[in-house]
Structure formats: C-alpha cells, structure tokens
Amino acid sequence: MPYLSAENLVKRYGKVLAVDHVSFSVERGEMLGLLGPSGCGKTTTLRIIAGLTVPDEGRVLVEGEDITNAPPEKRGMGMVFQNYALWPHMTVYDNVAFPLRARGMPADEVQRRVKEALEIVRLYELKDRYPHQLSGGQQQRVALARALAVQPRVILLDEPLSNLDAKLREEMRFELKELQRKLGVTAVYVTHDQAEALALSDRIAVMKDGRIVQIGTPREIYEEPANAFVADFIGKINFLEGRIEEFLGEGYVLVRVGDGLYVKAYTKRVHEKAPVIVGVRPGYIELRGTRPEKVDESRVNVFEGVVVRKTYLGDVYDYRVRVSEGVTLRVEARENYDVGSKLYLVVPADRTLVIDKKT
C-alpha cells in the first residue's frame, strides 16, 4: 500500500481550475517531485495534502486512512515554504520549539527534539541567534529543522531552495536529499526547476494546467517523455516536425523532417506512418570538422550544416547549426568552431525521441 495518496483532487478558484483531477501516490521513504511551470497548481496541490486548502473533490489518504477532512496539525505532516516563514522575533531555538510547545509537549521532550533537529541541520551552535542574523541558507535549514522536529510522517516542501543563490542551491539540494534518505521520511517536493527535480526525486510528477501529464523516474521523464511539453520542460531539446516514412526494423524509423532531410530515429511507441515530432537534445549531437568515415550507417545520422550562431557558456559552446532550409539545430559541444564554419553533425538514432503529434 502506498504511504500517501492523492485521489482525484480538484480545486477551483472561481473560473480557474487550479487543480484538475490530480492523482498520485508516494511510497514510504520516497521523495516525489512535483514539477511544473509557475501557476500549474503545485502549491495548491501541496496545500490540499497539508490540510491548508480544502479540495472541491477528491481524497487524501495516509496508509489507507482518509484524512481529507483532518485538521493540519493532526496529519503528522511538516511543511517547508519558499520564504522560510520563520518568526523574526524568535531565536532559532524558539522557532523550532514553538510548534512543539503549541502541541503541549513536555519541556524536556521539546528540548531533546529541538537539539536533535538543529544538530541534523548543523545549526545547534547558532541556536540563540535571530533569523536576521543568519544567511539565507541557514534560515532555510532552520525552516527544515522546524519541520523535522515534529517528526512528521510526511514532509512537504514548496520550492524550499528558490530564494538561495545558485551555488548554495546546488549544495542544499544535495544535503536535503541526503537528509531525507537518512531519515527515511516520505516527501513531496514542489519545484519549477527541472534540474532540482531530476537531482532530488525518486519519481517526478510533471504538472501542466492543473493536471499531471506524466509520472515516472527522472530517467523515464528525461528519456521517454510522454509528450512535447514534458520533453521541452525537462531539458533543452530540438524539435523537428515530420512524418514517419519507413519502418527500418528493431524500432528504428525513417522520418522525413524537411526537403530531402531524413532522420533515423528510435521509437518503442509509434507504430503507424503518422506525423511525429523528433526530439534531439543539444548535448547528444556531435560536431565534426570533417565528414566522419566509419559510422554505423544503420544507426547514425550524419548531416552537413553551417554554424549560424555561437554562444560561450563556459563548459560548452551553444551553437545554432543550419542543416537545411528551415531546419536549424541547437548543439552543445566543447569544440570551438567559428560562425560560418561548415560542419558535420552526428545524431545517434538511439538518442532521439519520437513524440506522437497527437499527444
């Protein structure tokens, strides 16, 4: 039995369908990432699970028990918000202790738990400071300690790292994952940041316009996106519109994507000569200065192209390479080529995504 389930959650705000029949389940100790663009209903979904928002329809279950109408404090859930929501007039210690005292917990138990939670986030030394005397990352860790101190069955995190600068965000991402794993706490992690979702989640639920469009492991979401929206949202990608012209066997198809331009691609899903979109991630395309000689002709596409734009990104160059009238591919590569260079692009067929246009 899943530990936490959301069943057909619906929430309307006037004409806005904020959450549109959302269902998912989370196993004990699992971290589910809820990923989607701003306004797609992530926070509303999380608030329904926390008991802070009442759904119009649907149920929330923990270990099979219906808690849809239970008050937030009876749910055994901890919540961490984007803005930390620390009490500014309370010390670090009191911020963590407050929810425990509010529950009428005996003083020695409060003391034990606050110490333990602050040690977990490595802030016990700073227990007498006030929030304004802490860095953003430290404040975020206090918020986390406060949520952990109640020893929640489920921890709900709403973009908890988005106020931090990029470097700290990456470090905290790793720490948070380690902590969640170590404590074995079941978690739902809301984010609009695909890298964060990929790094932290055991599984990801991708949301769009109030609905879940795909649930899967990070690898499944990245390598087998259910549709163009997911493929685009989860990473950089080139889209080539075309139509399957031929089945080459072993799952390979020949797709016509332009005048005289064909792409060999791999698909498990599409079995008819249908209009499709071929997706190719910029990092999977290889650039060569000379025509490659020994390529496995059955699997590899080789195209001629001209560099029309180049951007230095530090670790790689971001190129736009025009391969035919109307078809320009984005390529990320370490090699340095000038704008105007004539190049050969090698696109491994088994690194392409074939997306059914109907989905």
44 binds, among ligand ADP, Mg ion, none (CB under 5 to 8 A by kind): ligand ADP
Distance from C-alpha of 61 to C-alpha of 76, rounded to nearest angstrom:
12
Which residue's CB is nearer to ligand ADP, number 27 or number 193?
193
The b/e string for 330-346 (b: 16+ C-beta within 10 A; e otherwise) is bbbbeeebeeeeebbbb
How far are the Cα atoms of 96, 292, 295, 297, 303 from residue 300, in angstroms, in the given order? 58, 11, 7, 6, 10
In whole angstroms, how close is the CB of 213 to Mg ion at the nearest point? 17
347 binds, among ligand ADP, Mg ion, none (CB under 5 to 8 A by kind): none
In whole angstroms, how close is the CB of 39 to Mg ion at the nearest point? 8
**140 binding Mg ion? (CB under 5 A):** no
In whole angstroms, how close is the CB of 44 to ligand ADP at the nearest point? 3
13 binds, among ligand ADP, Mg ion, none (CB under 5 to 8 A by kind): ligand ADP
87 binds, among ligand ADP, Mg ion, none (CB under 5 to 8 A by kind): none
Which residue's CB is nearer to ligand ADP, number 81 or number 222?
81
Please give the DSSP secondary-structure letter assigned to residue 352: E
Pattern 325-354, binding to Mg ion, x per CB under 5 A?
------------------------------
Using CB under 6 A as the criterion, which residues of the chain lie in contact with ligand ADP when the complex forms? 13, 16, 18, 36, 38-44
270 binds, among Mg ion, ligand ADP, none (CB under 5 to 8 A by kind): none
Which residue's CB is nearer to ligand ADP, number 43 or number 267?
43
16 binds, among ligand ADP, Mg ion, none (CB under 5 to 8 A by kind): ligand ADP
By CB under 5 A, what part of segment 37-56 binds Mg ion?
Answer: 43
Distance from C-alpha of 155 to C-alpha of 77, rounded to nearest angstrom:
6
Give which of 232, 217, 222, 206 is closest to 35, Cα–Cα. 206
Please tell me the chain's helix, strand, coil percentages from 3-state DSSP, rounded to the nearest 5: 30, 40, 35
Burial class (CB in 10 A: 0-12, 13-18, 19+), 4: buried
Distance from C-alpha of 172 to C-alpha of 143, rounded to nearest angstrom:
13
In whole angstroms, how close is the CB of 187 to Mg ion at the nearest point? 16
In whole angstroms, how close is the CB of 23 to ligand ADP at the nearest point? 16
Distance from C-alpha of 328 to C-alpha of 286, rounded to nearest angstrom:
15
Which residue's CB is nearer to Mg ion, number 43 or number 194?
43
In whole angstroms, how close is the CB of 161 to ligand ADP at the nearest point? 15
Which residue's CB is nearer to ligand ADP, number 16 or number 274?
16
Residue nearest Mg ion, Cβ-based: 43
Contacts of 306 (CB under 8 A, 6+ apart): 321, 322, 340, 341, 342, 343
The residues binding Mg ion (CB under 5 A) are 43
